[in-house]
Amino acid sequence: MGDLQRGERLQIMLSHDELAALDEWRFTKRMPSRAAAIRELLKRGLVAEGFGLADSGSKSKDFGIIPNGKDATGNSEA
């Protein structure tokens, strides 16, 4: 499979209509698989919202709505 580094698996559930829309888009864009189509749509959605790909080593807390250095209650972390 080459140099692909996809170490995480994400499982999602879709309605029949969502799956039909995904497959229609996938075939129109000639995507090789549903997984490839979902990755492309996710990337496009993030870019459309002003987000790029996360830098390697980024942590989930770097993307939260609470400012860095604060805990879930908004208090400074020790």
Helices (H) and strands (E) in the chain, counts: 2, 0
Q: Supply the pLDDT for residue 54.
A: 62
Residue 64 lies in a domain: no
Residue 73 lies in a domain: no
Residue 39 lies in a domain: yes
- d(Cα 34, Cα 19) in Å, to the nearest integer? 9
Residue 59 lies in a domain: no
Residue 72 lies in a domain: no
- d(Cα 11, Cα 2) in Å, to the nearest integer? 23
Tokens of 42: 């996710």
Residue 26 lies in a domain: yes
Q: Supply the pLDDT for residue 37.
A: 94
Residue 10 lies in a domain: no
**Number of domains the chain contains:** 1
- d(Cα 38, Cα 50) in Å, to the nearest integer? 18
State the residue range of the domain holding 35.
Answer: 16-50
Contact 66, 77 (CB under 8 A): no
Residue 37 lies in a domain: yes
Q: Digits of tens for pLDDT over the chain (78 positions)? A: 455 677 888 899 999 999 999 999 999 999 999 999 999 999 999 888 888 766 666 666 665 555 655 555 556 655
